[in-house]
Structure 1
Amino acid sequence: MSVDYGMYARRLLQRCVVFFLISVHFIQSKDVTMVIGEVGGAVTLPCTSDLQRLPIHLYVQRLDPVEFINGYHQTKDLPSPHPEYANRTHVDHLQGTMKLWSIRPSDEGLYECHIRYPTKNNQENIQLNVTANYSIPNITVACDNGRCLVTCSSDNGYPRRDVEWNLNPPLNQSHWRVVNSSGGTDLVSTLFSVFSSISVNCSSGPRLNLSCAVGGALSQEHTVCRPPDTSVVSVVSAVSVIAAVLLSFLVLVFSSKKKKAQTARGNQGGKGAASSDE
């Protein structure tokens, strides 16, 4: 009896695909507890919620590469904690937790807690997301020939964020544009610094107020594209009017005195002529 190796191969392939899909579904459906920690602070990883039974052992590890972080064993000595975590972690097997302090950006990632009980083994997956508040953004403004270059900068934040601009009133994109946007990482702290510069056309709009935000940190509001100061114009106009009125008054006074002097000389001349006739 001949064997259809082609059909056999196709069935084997189908079974492998089904097994792969089932495995992927199992991996994706595994519960992951999300925890957020702030750089420099402390966080507690909840390895178990079953506090009714004491575990035989509980250890925490990271993957890629596999690193034993810290743990507890009822009867055996465990390996020393990983050097990165030796003085920053503590496992409490009574509460089923591991505390981590002096948090760094490099601590972000997936943690596995392996717990063994007398009758079963358990595994908890915990995703630690690390954050750091950005400094209050600083804004600088430089204007020339009807255009203003506005720069926003902020540092010491994590993860990387983009600068967000808020213009009031809103301007059409034809009146402003981003000319530069960049960032860097501190080599020691691995925290991010970001900045962004925009060019604003002040010749086509009214007074403009703007601010910027980075990762929830908001700058103070700054005013650019200032219109002419109407108060100064009013003062200059008022001074000009007063000067004109004063000058007119002086001219009138001078003219009046001149006329009086001429009249007085005329009267004196008339009296002299009368005396001669006598």
Structure 2
Amino acid sequence: MAPSSTKCSLSNRGPSLLLLALALTVTFSLTESDKTIQLSGEVGGNVTFQCPVDDKRTISLFYVQRHEEFVNGYYGERDMDLHKWQNTRLDRKRTHVHMYRLNISHTGMYTCLIQYNNDQVIKASSIQLNVTASYSKPNVTQSCDAAGCSVTCAFYGGYPGNNVTWKIHGSRNNHSQLLNVVNNTQVPSPSTMLVSSTSTVYFNCSHREIRNLSCSVGNVTSDWFPVCDRKPEVEPNSHNPIIIVVAVCAVLLSLSVGAALWCRHKKRQTDREKKENEEESKNLQVLEK
């Protein structure tokens, strides 16, 4: 935006300039810089608003505001502590405003207002603050049936909201032939504005096993994982050779033990009968004499 000489009353610049308007009721000229400064931060982190100043001149007024809301600054020798944002700190020597404990609501356009001694012109420069948040590593779940598998990737706590993307690594086939995207949703938290991004895809497992699949949002990517790698399950009524062999061995062992016990019992019974017959024979011989 080219510099302008638009006249504006300080009392119309909102509550951030109210104190100055009460002290000086004259009308000043406002000039704006033609370039917006880009500033980036992450949720929970810190940023510093470095407003462009002429170090060779003495500043009489320095304000940082968002729209018409005062953020921090000073006029003359007086800091505006009662009206400042509580998560900001003013550095008068370097004309910086430090902002900490960032959250998504701090995203927006900010304005630096600077006036020098013996100058009725207030210079304005714009700073665009963008606050982002990295998504967590995704939670990956699979659910398979006889025909295929559904895979869900869920990312939490990120900003801005982005769709989940899927990639089959090392595949020469068109991804659309191997997977079908069932849904792709972003749900923001009402309190923090952080986004949960979730996507579900369905794979037809009749093609082949997919060994290297991943999902991602922004710069966060899951580990590679396989899909359709299920091993055939043994049906309850099927004949498992191992089970059959074990069962036959158990039966044979039982028969062998039973036969051994029966033979021992039979031998004892035969020996007892033989002994009884011998004693009876001896008794008869004694009687005959």
TM-score scaled by structure 1? 0.66
Residue by residue, what CA displacement relative to the aligned partner does 1:36-57 show, whole Å, maximum 9, x if unpaired?
Answer: 0111111001112433333101
Equivalence for 2:15? none
The question of whether the paired residues in 2 share the 8 Å contact of 1:109 and 1:129 is answered with: yes
The question of whether the paired residues in 2 share the 8 Å contact of 1:51 and 1:96 is answered with: no
The question of whether the paired residues in 1 share the 8 Å contact of 2:32 and 2:124 is answered with: no
Residue by residue, what CA displacement relative to the aligned partner does 1:158-200 show, whole Å, maximum 9, x if unpaired?
Answer: 1112111111325441331110111212222221111000001
Of 160, 174, 178, which aligns to 1:175?
178
Partner amino acid, structure 2, of 1:32 = T
Equivalence for 1:113? 112
Equivalence for 2:229? 226
Q: Which runs of 5+ in 2 are unaligned?
A: 1-5, 7-30, 233-240, 246-289
The question of whether the paired residues in 1 share the 8 Å contact of 2:32 and 2:125 is answered with: no
Shift of 1:79: 7.8
Equivalence for 2:22? none
Partner amino acid, structure 2, of 1:100 = M
Q: Distance in 2 between matches of 1:179 and 1:148?
A: 12
Shift of 1:81: 2.4
The question of whether the paired residues in 2 share the 8 Å contact of 1:163 and 1:195 is answered with: yes
The question of whether the paired residues in 2 share the 8 Å contact of 1:161 and 1:214 is answered with: yes
Q: Distance in 2 between matches of 1:172 and 1:74?
A: 65
Q: Distance in 2 between matches of 1:146 and 1:77?
A: 70
Q: Distance in 2 between matches of 1:90 and 1:41?
A: 14
Equivalence for 1:137? 138
Does residue 60 (structure 1) correspond to residue 64 (structure 2)? The answer is yes
Residue by residue, what CA displacement relative to the aligned partner does 1:47-103 show, whole Å, maximum 9, x if unpaired?
Answer: 12433333101001112xx21111111145648325xx2x21112232121110010
Q: Distance in 2 between matches of 1:56 and 1:28?
A: 18
The question of whether the paired residues in 2 share the 8 Å contact of 1:140 and 1:151 is answered with: yes
Does residue 74 (structure 1) correspond to residue 76 (structure 2)? The answer is yes
Q: Secondary structure of the equivalent of 1:174?
A: helix
Equivalence for 1:36? 40
Equivalence for 1:166? 167
Q: Which runs of 5+ in 1 are unaligned?
A: 1-22, 230-238, 244-278
Residue by residue, what CA displacement relative to the aligned partner does 1:189-244 show, whole Å, maximum 9, x if unpaired?
Answer: 22111100000111023433211111211111110122769xxxxxxxxx99xx9x
Q: Secondary structure of the equivalent of 1:204?
A: coil
Equivalence for 2:214? 211
The question of whether the paired residues in 1 share the 8 Å contact of 2:33 and 2:124 is answered with: no
Residue by residue, what CA displacement relative to the aligned partner does 1:122-145 show, whole Å, maximum 9, x if unpaired?
Answer: 211100010111101121111111
